[in-house]
C-alpha cells in the first residue's frame, strides 16, 4: 500500500539505482576525488548554465544549515518564513551549525515571504542587541506546495542584496518546482538573485544526499572544510554523487517530478468534488493541503492511510512522490468520498 | 588497478548491495520507523549478546563526535591517544559537535593507550581551569593496525569508570579487529567495559553509514534528537540500515574482514624479504606500515600506486580492503622489490 | 541632567561603593576563594531562607544564558514570552551559550506568560523534528514593568514541572519586584517553584555583576566549570561579590528599589493628567510605558531627554533608577505637558 | 600577609580606584556610549601611536577567546606554545567561543615559540582532515616570566603573515613586559606585526576588565556584536573603562609594573644565594620559577605561604604584584633559607 505522508516514503528511482550500481566498479579515490563526483558537478554546472561550486552532503538538514552557516556569523540572523522548515522542523539545526545565528520568522500568505514583511525585519532595528539580518531564505516549492514566480524571487533578492543579505533557497522540492514552472533552473535561481541553492536529491528519488550549489562562488570559500568538520564529508563520495548522474540523464529528474505533480493535481481535482472538503492552498507542486472533517481523518487512519495533519489547522497534508500510482490516488479519494458521506 | 591508500577506495560488497536493492521495494516510513532498521538493530543486539541501543549515522566523523558529545559537557574533556583519528584527522569535529570539549592526547607505544598515561591525565589536576576528563576513547583496530587485547581494554575501562569517565571505542575497523582476534564481539566491548561503540560500516563494505551502539543505555538518552539536530538523521533510513542486514547475514562482514587482514599479512610477509625495508608495527589487522627508502616511494608513485606516507616518519601506509586481490598485493610487492634494488 | 532611557544609566549606589572599597584591603585568593564571596553567598542564603547555590557572573546576558544552558541540551528548547529580553535583546546569546537551544515565544497580555499559552507549546508536538521544551523562563518584573503574583508563578511552575521542564526566572529587576510586592523573596521564587533565579545586581546599583541562584542544587552541578569556560569567572571575584554586601546590609537594596518604584508612580500619576497620553501598562515596578504623540516625542528629544520608544507601538519607555530625583521626574513631566498642549 | 600565588591576589591600585570613583558621577549612557570609554580608547590610541580599535571585556579568558574567534573559523586552527595559558588553563574556552577551532601546541624553550616549530605546524599538512592554521598566538610576558624581543616577534609575525595567519598577542602581563623591555608599546606590537593584542588590566591593578586592541582594524568588524552575544558587553561600561584612565595617567601602569618586576628580581637574587635551589627560567618580568626541595615546599605551606607548583617539574612559581612589599619578599626568602638548611 502506498502512503501520502511524505515523499520520503518512496524508494530509489530506477535511474538513480542503475547509476549507483554502475559506480560500484573497482577502486575510486575517497572524499570526492573520484570521477563520478567530478562528472555530476559538471552536469549540474551545465544544468544551471553557469560555473557554480557544487558540494554533496548527506541530508537536507545539513545542506540548509551548513549553507546558512556559511552566510552569516553566530551573532547575525537569518530571515525566513514563519512556517519555513528550517525554523519549524529542524530541531534547532541551523542554530547548532551556526553556533547561535537566530532565525527571524516573517509572515506571508501561501507560505511565501513578502517584500514588506522582510523589509520590516531588516529595517526594524540597528542596535547591538539585535542580531543583524545577514541571510534571507525562501523555500521553493514552499512547505505548503506553492511556488515563487521568478519576479517574486528577484524582488526579494534585490531587497536582500541592497541591505547586505545573502539569498538562500531551500530546494528540498526543487525538482517539483522546476517541473511545475516549466522554466530553466537558472531563471528562478541565480538569474533571479539566488546566491546559494540546496538542491534536494532524496525526495526526488535518490537513496541519500543533497547538493549545495553556490552561484556566488565567493561564499563557498572553505566550504569543504566546513562540511568535513560538521560530519558531512562522505568517504565513499561516489555513492552520493553517482546517483545524480542517472537522475540528470535525459531529464529523468523532471519526468519523475512532473509525475508527482500530476498525481497531486489528480488528487486535488478529485477532492474538489467532495462536499465539506476545501483545498487550503493552490496546488502548484506535489503537495495537497485540504481541510478534512475529523471523522474523515479518523476513518482514513483506521483504513491504514498514513498522512500528516497540517499544524495549526484542521487540515491534512497529502504528499505525492515520484512513484505514486494513479490507483493509489483513486483509492485514497474513494475512501475519502465514502467517509465524507 | 587497485590501490592501498585507504580501505575507503573499495566499493560496496555484494551482500550489502543485494540487501540495499531488496530494501528498495514500495513505500517505507521515514526516519528509521521502517522494518529494515528494526531488524538490523535486533540483529546487532543478537551479535553483541545484549540489549543495546543502536543508531545509524552517515559517517565516522559524526558517529564518534556525536557519541563523545553525549558523554561529556563542553567544559569537560576526552582522553585519547596522541595519534587517535578523532584528534588528528577530524578537522576539529569532536570540538564542534560538543561545543568545545577538549581532547587530551596521551602517549603510548603501537598506537595504544596505557593505564599509566591515562591515569596521569586524569589525576594531573582538579582545578577549575582544567577541563575535567569525562570520557576515554580508544581505537580498535588502532590507527597503526594494532589491536587491544580484552584484558588491556578492561584495565583501561576499569580505570576510567573508577574516575567517573565513560568508555568509548572508535571501531572504524571493528570488523578487522573482530576477525583478527577471533573472539565474540561482546568479549572486547561491553564485557570489557566499553560503554559506547562506533561500529564502522563503510570501510567494511557498505556504501555509507556507521552504527553507534550504546551498551550503557542510560547514555543514549535523547540521542535521536542529538542526531537530528546535527544533521545525522537519514530520511530514507532503510538505505543506511538495510545494507547491514546483508553484511551480518551468515558472517559476510567477518569473511570480508578476514580476507582484508589476510591480504595485509601477505603484503607484510613479502615486505620482510626485502632489504632496507622494515615493518613499523606488528600487522594485526588490515594495515601495513613500513619504512620505505625515498626512491622507492617516488618510484611507486611514478608507477601509479596511491598510498599515504605515515606522518612523522619516513614510512608508508598500505591499507587492504574487502576486495583487495592477491594479484594486487603481489604486483605492489614486485614493484617494491624492483625499486629497492 | 538625569535620563529615563535605562536604569543602567545610574552609577554605583553609596552602599555598594563603600563595600567595594572596604574589600580592597590586602591580598585575597582569586576566583571566588575569598571571604567576601563566601559571606555574600551566605547572606543570600539567609535572604532566600534556604540553602541555595550562588554564583556571581559579569552581566545579565551571561547570567540568563548560562543558567538556561545548564537547564537544557542544545537539541531542546526554552519557552519564553514573545517580548522576553532573552529573545528580543540578547543578539542570540542564549542560543550561543547553549549551542543551539531554541527559544519558543509565547503570547500573553501585559508581558506575562499564561498557563494556556505555555501548555500549548509544551504539548503541541512530540516528534523528533521539534526541540522538546525543557525550560520555562519568566521575567520578574517583566519587560513592561508588570509583576507576576506568587500564585501565577506557582501555576506556571506546576505546569512546567509536571511536563519535565525546569523553571527559570530572569530577575534583572528582581529588587523592584520584591519592593513592589512587599513579600519575602522566597514567596515568589523557590516556594512558588522557581528552580533558578538570575538576580540582577547592576540595575540595582552595583558597578557590575549579577548573581545566579540555584534553588534546585542538582541543577548547578559543574556550573563553576561552565562559567569558567564561558569567560564568566572573575579573577578578582571579591570586587564582584563584595558590593552585594553593602546592598544587602540593612535592606539598602530594597530601599533603593522602592525609591525607583515610587519615582515611576510619581511619573505615571503626572502623565495621567495629560490629555492625549495613555499608560500602556499598569505601573507595578520602575518602568512607565505610555503612548506619546509624535510631536511630543520629537520635542522631548530636542530638549535633550533620552528614552526608548517601545518597539511595535507609538509608545515611550521611561525607566526610573535608584538615583532618580523627584525634580527630574517633575522636569520631564513639565516638558511633556508643555509639548502636549 | 601577602602571597605569591598570583598577581590576581592584589587589589585595586589607588590610581584605578580614584578614576572609578570619579566616573561615578551622575548618569551616563550604557554599553560604552559614555565619555570615559571614549577617552580611554583615545588614550590607548595615543599610547600605541596608531589608530587602533579598542574594546573592553570582562576578563582574560574572554578577551583571548573572542579575539581568536574573530581570527579564525571553527574548522581552522590556532598555533600556540604548548604551555600557553589559552591551551592549558582556560577549560576549553577558545574552543567554546570559536565553536571548535583547534589549538595546535608547539614546543619551544623558555616558553617561547620558535619560527621552526611554528613553520612545521603550518606546513605539515594541507588536507581537508586537518584544521588549517589561521592564527598564531604568543604570550608576552610568557607564562614562565620570559620575554620575546621585538625581532623575535617580527620573525614569527612575518612567517605567520606569509602563510595567511593572523598574529595575536596574549598580553595578560603586557605591562610587566613593557616595563621590562623599556620600549614603546608600538615597538613590539603592531610595528613587529601583531594584529590583535589582549592588554591585561586586572593583573595590572584594575578591579576587572581587559582591553582588546585591534591594530588591523579589518579584523574587528562586528566585534561589538560578537562581544554582546558572548555576554561580554558591560551595561555600565564606564566602570570597566574609567579605571584605565587612572592607570594610563602619568604612567602609573608602568610604575606599578616596574615595581612588580623589581620585586621579582629581589626574590630571584635572594634565591640564587641558597644552595639546592635553582632558577628554572631567566627572570624578565614579575614571575620567579625555581626548583624547591619537597621539604621546603611543604614547610612554606605550613608557614602559610600560598604559591603554585609548576606543572611538570618539582618547581615553584612565585608571582609578584603591583603591591608586593620588599618586606614580603624578604620574609619569604627568610623562610626558604630557614627551611633549606
Which of 87-106 (C) contact D at CB < 8 A? Answer: 90-93, 96-97, 99
Q: Which three cell numbers stand for residue B45?
A: 543486539
Nearest to B228 among C31, C128, C225 (CB): C128
Q: Answer yes or no: do A225 and D131 touch at CB < 8 A.
A: yes
Q: What stretch of H or E contains C154?
A: helix C150-162
Strands, E assignment, chain C? 53-57, 76-81, 102-106, 132-139, 166-171, 196-199, 210-214, 278-279, 287-291, 308-310, 315-319
The C-alpha atoms of residue A236 and residue B207 are separated, in whole angstroms, by 7
Flag whether residue B226 sits within 8 Å of chain C, measured between CB atoms: yes
Q: What percent of chain C has pLDDT over 70?
A: 99
Residue with cell 578487522: B176
Q: Is B20 on the interface with A (CB under 8 A)?
A: yes
The pLDDT assigned to B311 comes to 66
Check pLDDT > 70 for residue A313.
no
Confidence of residue A164 (pLDDT cuts 50, 70, 90): very high
Average pLDDT over chain A reads 96
Residue finishing a domain among C207, C230, C249:
C249
Chain C interface disruption, residue of B128, B131, B230, most C CBs within 10 A = B128
Average pLDDT over chain C, rounded to an integer = 96
Q: Do A100 and C101 touch (CB under 8 A)?
A: no
Are B197 and B189 in contact by the 8 Å Cβ rule? The answer is yes
Taken in order D236, D237, D243, D249, the sign of the CA dihedral is negative
State the cell numbers at C31: 576566583
CATH number for position D153: 3.40.640.10
Q: pLDDT digit string (tens) for C16-55?
A: 999 999 999 999 999 999 999 999 999 999 999 999 999 9
B308 and B159 both lie in a single domain: no
Report helix, strand and coil shares of chain B as percent, to nearest 5: 45, 15, 40
Chain C residues touching D223 at Cβ < 8 A: none
Cell 542538582 found at? C218
- How many angstroms separate the CA of residue D58 from the nearest CA in chain B? 17
Rounded Cα distance, B215 and D308, in Å: 42
**Could you please report the per-residue DSSP string of B96-136?**
HHHTSPEEEEE--GGG---HHHHHHHHHS--STTS-EEEEE
Task: Report residues of chain B scoring pLDDT below 50.
Answer: none
Cβ–Cβ under 8 Å, residues D140 and D171: yes
Question: Is residue D221 within 8 angstroms of chain A, CB to CB?
Answer: no
Looking at the complex, report in whole angstroms how far the Cα of residue D99 sits from the nearest Cα belonging to chain B: 5
Of B249, B283, B298, the one marking the end of a domain is B249
Q: Which helix (H) or strand (E) holds A79?
A: strand A76-81
Strand order in the sheet with B315-319: B278-279, B287-291, B315-319, B308-310
Say if C32 falls within a structural domain.
Answer: yes
Instruction: Find, in chain B, the residue whose alpha carbon is nearest to that of D74.
Output: B96
**Shared domain check, B211 and B288:** no
Is the domain of C135 the same as that of C258?
no
Beta bridge partners of A309: A316
- Spatial strand order in the sheet of A196-199: A53-57, A210-214, A196-199, A166-171, A132-139, A76-81, A102-106
Interface predicted TM-score (ipTM) of this complex, two decimals:
0.97
Answer whether C229 touches A (CB < 8 Å).
no
For A220-236, the pLDDT digits (tens) are: 999 999 999 999 999 99
> Could C129 and A99 be called an inter-chain contact, meaning their C-beta atoms sit closer than 8 Å?
no
Residue C1: pLDDT band by 50, 70, 90 thresholds?
confident
A9, A97, A240: residue with CB nearest B27: A9
Main-chain dihedrals φ then ψ at residue A67, nearest 5 degrees: -65, -45
- Per-residue pLDDT tens for C49-71? 999 999 999 999 999 999 999 99
Query: B249, B282, B309 — which closes off a domain?
Result: B249
* Chain B residues with beta carbon closer than 8 angstroms to that of C73: 222, 225-226
Q: How many domains does chain C have?
A: 2
Both A241 and A261 in one domain: the answer is no
* A109: exposed, middle or buried (Cβ count in 10 Å: 0-12, 13-18, 19+): exposed
Interface contact B57, partner A, CB < 8 A = yes
Chain C within 8 Å of A125 (Cβ-Cβ)?
A: yes
Question: Same domain for B58 and B198?
Answer: yes
For residues C252 and C239, is the Cβ–Cβ distance under 8 A?
A: no
- Does A143 touch chain C if contact means CB atoms closer than 8 Å? no
The maximal CA–CA distance of chain B, rounded, in angstroms, is: 61
Residue of C nearest to B33 (CA): C128
Question: Three-class SS of residue D173?
Answer: coil
Cell of A282: 493552490
**CA-based nearest residue in chain D for residue B132:** D91
Query: What CA dihedral angle connects C124, C126, C130 and C132, to 10 degrees?
Result: 90
CA distance to partner chain C, nearest, from residue A20 (Å):
29
CA distance B6 to chain D (A): 14
Q: Do C225 and B99 touch (CB under 8 A)?
A: no
For residues D244 and D147, state if they share a domain.
yes
pLDDT at residue A200 in the model: 98
CA dihedral of residues B81, B278, D121, D177 (deg, nearest 10): 80
- Whether residues A45 and A190 share a domain: the answer is yes
Handedness of CA D42, D47, D51, D53 (dihedral sign): negative
Q: Is B128 on the interface with D (CB under 8 A)?
A: yes
d(CA A126, CA A164): 13
Q: CB distance from B308 to chain D under 8 Å?
A: no
The answer as to whether B264 is a domain residue is yes
Judged by CB atoms closer than 8 Å, whether chains meet at B100 and C225 is answered as: no
Other CB atoms within a 10 A radius of the CB of residue A33 amount to 13
Find the CB nearest A91 among C95, C96, C128. C128
Determine the structural domain holding residue A320 and report its residue range.
252-340
What's the whole-number average pLDDT of chain D? 96
Q: Measure Cα distances from A39 to A32, A203, A237, A281, B11 in Å.
A: 11, 22, 12, 39, 18
Binary contact (D74, A131; C-beta < 8 A): no
Nearest CA in chain A to D97: A99
In a domain, A79, yes or no: yes
- Per-residue pLDDT band at C313 (split at 50, 70, 90): low
DSSP D231-283: T---TTTHHHHHHHHHHHGGGHHHHHHHHHHHHHHHHHHHHHTSTT-EESS--
Q: Does D222 touch chain A (CB under 8 A)?
A: yes
Return d(Cα B288, Cα A268) in angstroms, integer: 62
Please give, one letter per residue, the 3-state secondary structure of A176-224: HHHHHHCCCHHHHCHHHCCCEEEECCCCCCCCCCEEEEECCHHHHCCHH
D189 in a structural domain: yes
A129 touches chain D (CB under 8 A): yes
| Residue D187 and residue D295 in one domain | no
Q: Across residues D35-57, what is the average pLDDT?
A: 98
- How confident is the model over C310-319, as a mean pLDDT? 82
Tell me, yes or no, whether B21 and B104 share the same domain. Answer: yes
C29 touches chain A (CB under 8 A): no
How many Å is the Cα radius of gyration of chain A?
20
pLDDT of C311 reads 66
Q: Are residues B66 and B150 in the same domain?
A: yes
* Within a domain: D8: no
What average pLDDT does the segment C130-138 reach? 98
Any CB–CB contact under 8 A between D307 and chain C?
no
Residue C6 domain flag = no
HSE-CB for D9 with a 13 A CA cutoff: 21
pLDDT in tens, C167-222: 999 999 999 999 999 999 999 999 999 999 999 999 999 999 999 999 999 999 99
pLDDT band at C115; cut points 50, 70, 90: very high
Which residues of chain D neighbour B125 with C-beta distances below 8 Å? Answer: 311
- Tell me which residue of A232, A236, A57, C230 sits closest to B65, measured CA to CA: A232
Prior bond of A66 cis (ω within 30°): no
Q: Would you say residue C146 lies in a domain?
A: yes
Q: Is the pLDDT of residue C277 over 80?
A: yes
C130 Cβ under 8 Å from any chain A Cβ: yes
Task: Check whether residue B270 and residue B210 sit in a common domain.
Answer: no
CA distance D133 to A322: 46
Check B92 against A229: CB less than 8 A apart: yes
Distance CA A265, CA A252 (A): 20
Domain membership flag for residue D6: no
**Euclidean distance between CA atoms D78 and B125, whole angstroms:** 24
Quote the CA–CA distance of A309 and B260 in Å, as a whole number: 51
Task: State whether residue C76 sits within 8 Å of chain B by CB.
Answer: yes
Question: In degrees, to the nearest 5, what angle opens at C-alpha B261 toward C-alphas B255 and B262?
Answer: 85
The distance of A229 to chain B (nearest Cα, Å) reads: 4
What per-residue confidence (pLDDT) applies to D314?
78
The domain that holds A276 is classified in CATH as: 3.90.1150.10
Q: Is A62 helix (H, G, I), strand (E, B) or coil?
A: helix
Neighbours of D301 (CB within 10 A): 11
Kindly state whether residues B203 and B229 are assigned to the same domain: yes
User: Which chains have 3 or more CB–CB distances shorter than 8 Å to chain A?
Assistant: B, C, D
Q: CA A125, CA D158: separation in Å to the nearest integer?
A: 42
Instruction: Please answer whether residues C84 and C58 qualify as being in contact, where contact means their C-beta atoms are separated by less than 8 angstroms.
Output: no
Residue B313 pLDDT: 63
Q: How far apart are CA B41 and CA B137, in angstroms?
A: 23
CA distance A95 to A102: 7
Shortest Cα–Cα distance, D123 to chain B (Å): 12
C-alpha distances out from residue D147 to D44, D63, D138, D283, D330, Å: 22, 21, 10, 9, 25
Amino acid at each position: 500500500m502506498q502512503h501520502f505522508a511524505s515523499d520520503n516514503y518512496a524508494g530509489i528511482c530506477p535511474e538513480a539505482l542503475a547509476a549507483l550500481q554502475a559506480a560500484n566498479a573497482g577502486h575510486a579515490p575517497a572524499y570526492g576525488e573520484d570521477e563520478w563526483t567530478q562528472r555530476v558537478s559538471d552536469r549540474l554546472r551545465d544544468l544551471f548554465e553557469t560555473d557554480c561550486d557544487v558540494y554533496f552532503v548527506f541530508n537536507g538538514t545539513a545542506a540548509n544549515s551548513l549553507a546558512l552557516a556559511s552566510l552569516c556569523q553566530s551573532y547575525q540572523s537569518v530571515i525566513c518564513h514563519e512556517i519555513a522548515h528550517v525554523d519549524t522542523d529542524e530541531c534547532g539545526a541551523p542554530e547548532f551549525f551556526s553556533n547561535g545565528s537566530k532565525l527571524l520568522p516573517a509572515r506571508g500568505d501561501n507560505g511565501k515571504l513578502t517584500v514588506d514583511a522582510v523589509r520590516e525585519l531588516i529595517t526594524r532595528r540597528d542596535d547591538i542587541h539585535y542580531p543583524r539580518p545577514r541571510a534571507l531564505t525562501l523555500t521553493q516549492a514552499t512547505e505548503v506546495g506553492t511556488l515563487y514566480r521568478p519576479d517574486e524571487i528577484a524582488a526579494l533578492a534585490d531587497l536582500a542584496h541592497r541591505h547586505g543579505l545573502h539569498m538562500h533557497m531551500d530546494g528540498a522540492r526543487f525538482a517539483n518546482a522546476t517541473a511545475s514552472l516549466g522554466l530553466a533552473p537558472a531563471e528562478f535561481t541565480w538569474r533571479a538573485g539566488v546566491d546559494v541553492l540546496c538542491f534536494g536529491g532524496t525526495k526526488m528519488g535518490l537513496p541519500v544526499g543533497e547538493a549545495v550549489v553556490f552561484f556566488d562562488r565567493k561564499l563557498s570559500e572553505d566550504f569543504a572544510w566546513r562540511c568535513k568538520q560538521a560530519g558531512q564529508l562522505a568517504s565513499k563520495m561516489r555513492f552520493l554523487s553517482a546517483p545524480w548522474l542517472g537522475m540528470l540523464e535525459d531529464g529523468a529528474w523532471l519526468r519523475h517530478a512532473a509525475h508527482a505533480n500530476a498525481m497531486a493535481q489528480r488528487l486535488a481535482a478529485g477532492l474538489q468534488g467532495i462536499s465539506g472538503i476545501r483545498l487550503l492552498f493552490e496546488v502548484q507542486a506535489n503537495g495537497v493541503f485540504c481541510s478534512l472533517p475529523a471523522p474523515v481523518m479518523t476513518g482514513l487512519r483506521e483504513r491504514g492511510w498514513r498522512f500528516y495533519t497540517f499544524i495549526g489547522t484542521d487540515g491534512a497534508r497529502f504528499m505525492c512522490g515520484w512513484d505514486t500510482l494513479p490507483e493509489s490516488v483513486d483509492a485514497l479519494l474513494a475512501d475519502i468520498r465514502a467517509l465524507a458521506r
